[in-house]
Chain A
Amino acid sequence: MTGIRAWGIDVGSSTTKIVGVEAGGTMCLHLLEDSEPRAEEQIVRMLQRAAAASGDQRVRPLVATGYGRKLVQQADRVVTEITCHARGAYRALGHGGTLVDVGGQDSKVIKLGPQGEVLDFAMNDKCAAGTGRFLENTCRRLGVDLERLGEVALAARDEATLSSTCTVFAESEIVSLLAHGVGVEPILKGLHRALVQRLVAMIHTVGLTPPLMLSGGVARNPAVARLLEAETGETVVVPPHPQLLGAFGAALVALESVGERPGKP
């Protein structure tokens, strides 16, 4: 594989991703690993993996994004997740709208213009309640496998109401619900609802312009998408490889930096 023209790396708080794109901006290689504490070592190792898999020994031009973007010394440029997600979503889906990205560390809502430009954005970065970690932590407490989380929640017939959207309070509320004999499924559904309501609040702060797009690792959880649809009345579109959108966007920025324009989806 030597057709790779540009690279993107997204050093997230939960996972680190590398994407390579060929001319026209088509994704042709991707790597994903759980993020490790020694990020710099991991970055070197993953870049070596990318070089080996692609035959491109330089892995350049490279644009870094994500929580640990500043740690990527090999990068030609560093760009925020907002810009990268916008770029990635527009290339993947070919339209503007409202992109909701739920990451491990934060969540964000980006309003995209018809040409994919960022018009406005909101970030939830102080509170864990609207993030993937919120679900991850609580599912661990409830003994449910992360992969099955959404399924289990959707299967619930009843729904427990969680009055707190604060992670700390929610956790004590869950303990007290369990103590009162409420089942795991209704609690899970209530939890998803709380998360989604938090997201909807953010969506409203930038204004909802359909279509609604969902990315980040959480996009693989069907309950989040379904509840988001129920709460907003809009159809939710999930791009292919929702978890890689940031790294993909970074690669597209890298591609532009060498004077190439990404094509259409």
Chain B
Amino acid sequence: MKALGDLRDYAVARVVGPAALRVQRWGNQWRAWRGSGWESAYLAPPLGVAVRGKEMVARHWLAGRYANRDRKVAWITSAAPVELLHALGFFIVYPENHGAICGAARVAVDLSCEAENAGYSRDLCSYARTDLGSLFSGRTPVGRLPMPDLLFACTNICQTVLFWYRVLAHQLRVPLVLIDTPFVYFETAPEHAVAYVQRQIETSVPVLEKIAGRSLGMAKLKETGTLSREAAHLWMEIMQRNAHQPAPISVVDQFTLMAPVVEMRGEPATVDFYAAMLREVDGRIAEGVGAVKDERHRLLWDNLPIWYRLKDVAEMLGAGGAALVASTYTNAWGELADLIDPEEPFESMARTYLYPILNRGTGHKLKTMRRMIDQYSLDGVLLHSDRSCKPYSIGQLDQRDRLARETGVPALLLEADHNDSRCYSEAQVANRVAAFIETLER
């Protein structure tokens, strides 16, 4: 009976499911080609490759349903040195991405309530609450989450993930491998911090190998590193194309199109995907197509997206002729591309994973935003003050004041939360955004 079940799962995961997703993609592509199904008066339809991206993500989660049968599964934080795990053949799940999917599907609050009912405070990160709620209730919009054999957390995005993964480790009785990345207060990280991170990565290898049941091949690690770097490079190039006016690809689209570079970097298909996207973006530039039909204002977005209001925010801004052209968030997945050196995997990983924007000072973020304002010719900044992400949000008040004072670019603080719609006041945001756009018009 078990063999029969295995066979059925195999058939669903490898044959039927992917075929169904492919048919779905053809349908979507056909509709996109005919231009039907897109009704926005202000926004250009999404990129054609978007349907392919959607299929990649869907395939990933489909495979995830049955991953526990024949693969070792790792749950990992978004900016962890995933190359190691890829090279060791782990099936990788990003609880943060899962949280975002729940947010976009507007089930995050329901799931959060499950966690809150179990005693988790509403003051905790809404990704963590969403995922814990999903774990406690077994409910998820992706069908089924494979349970982890390994938890892999890197503190370079926040300390929150450490506390969160400690809960998971306790709950699931699964080993937690921690890569602790000292916060970079100044321009560069001290050498002893690099050495500390490198030592942790190196000593994690035998632990990971034991769980994976195989040893780490250096050739495979190099290959993964190369692919990871290529994908990040292409992603960076795509974002940089937005220096053109009108900007060909909205940040709102970037928020969803970044999924592969976050969760599938290190895989060949990801490189192909971004190569195709770059071609399409270049096509848009050649035709003079912008993401916002009548682009009059070019804005910067800081912090995580408001997952449950992505489209509304885009429409709201589009109606005022405002395009979201660049964001510190999507940029974070491309800006470190050059640091990855497949020839020196451990040391370069240590440096790469020390330097995400979230592991650097508030002044560094200001500098980054100022550079982006110049590079992308921006005339306004939206700072999402995200109740659930303190490391990203602390410093925004000073950043706002300094931007306005030193660059003359107005900046608006929007109080919300990336996943918890209860912290979002529709009317307030609409009013503030409308008033902000009015300032830009003057």
Contact = CB atoms under 8 A, between A and B. Distances in A.
Interface of chain A: mostly helix, strand, loop or mixed: helix
A221 B116 CA distance: 26
A243 interface: no
B426 A163 contact: yes
A164 B422 CA distance: 5
Interface string B424-438: 111110000000000
A173 B117 contact: no
A206 to B, nearest CB: 10
B118 interface: yes
A38 to B, nearest CB: 37
Contacts of B425: 164, 169, 172-173
B113 interface: yes
A197 B116 CA distance: 12
B428 to A, nearest CB: 7
Contacts of B118: 204-205
B421 interface: yes
Interface residues of B, number: 13
Interface string B109-122: 10001001111000
Contacts of B427: 172-173, 175-176
A163 B424 contact: yes
Contacts of B421: 163
A83 B81 CA distance: 54
A163 B118 CA distance: 21
Contacts of A163: 109, 421-422, 424, 426
B117 A201 contact: yes
Contacts of A176: 426-427
A176 B117 CA distance: 30
Contacts of B119: 205
Interface in B381-435: 421-422, 424-428
Contacts of A173: 425-427
A166 interface: yes
A165 interface: yes
Contact of A166 (B113, B117, B422, B426): B422
A127 to B, nearest CB: 9
B117 A205 contact: yes
Contacts of A166: 422
Nearest to A164: B422
Interface in A160-192: 163-166, 169, 172-173, 175-176
A205 B113 CA distance: 11
B428 A172 contact: yes
Contacts of A200: 117
Contact of A201 (B116, B426, B428): B116
B36 to A, nearest CB: 30
Contacts of B428: 172
Interface string B274-290: 00000000000000000
Contacts of A172: 425, 427-428
A164 B426 CA distance: 10
Contacts of B424: 163
B295 to A, nearest CB: 29
A197 B422 CA distance: 13
Contacts of A205: 116-119
B388 to A, nearest CB: 15
Nearest to A177: B427
Nearest to B113: A201
B18 to A, nearest CB: 37
A201 B113 CA distance: 7
Interface string A32-62: 0000000000000000000000000000000
A205 B424 CA distance: 25
Contact of B117 (A164, A175, A204): A204
B35 to A, nearest CB: 31
A164 B109 CA distance: 11
Contacts of B116: 201, 204-205
B422 A165 contact: yes
Contacts of B109: 163
Interface string A145-172: 0000000000000000001111001001
Nearest to B114: A204
Counting chain B CB atoms within 10 Å of each CB, the highest count among A163, A164, A169 belongs to A163
A165 B119 CA distance: 18
B77 to A, nearest CB: 28
Contacts of B113: 197, 201
Interface string B88-123: 000000000000000000000100010011110000
22 contacts: A163-B109, A163-B421, A163-B424, A163-B426, A164-B422, A164-B425, A165-B422, A166-B422, A169-B425, A172-B425, A172-B427, A173-B426, A173-B427, A175-B427, A197-B113, A201-B113, A201-B117, A204-B117, A204-B118, A205-B116, A205-B117, A205-B118
Interface of B: 109, 113, 116-119, 421-422, 424-428
List of 4 A-B pairs having minimum Cβ-Cβ separation, nearest first: A204-B117, A176-B427, A169-B425, A163-B421
Given A200-B117, A205-B116, A205-B117, 15 more contacts: A163-B109, A163-B421, A163-B422, A163-B426, A164-B422, A164-B425, A169-B422, A172-B425, A172-B428, A173-B427, A197-B113, A201-B116, A204-B117, A204-B118, A205-B119
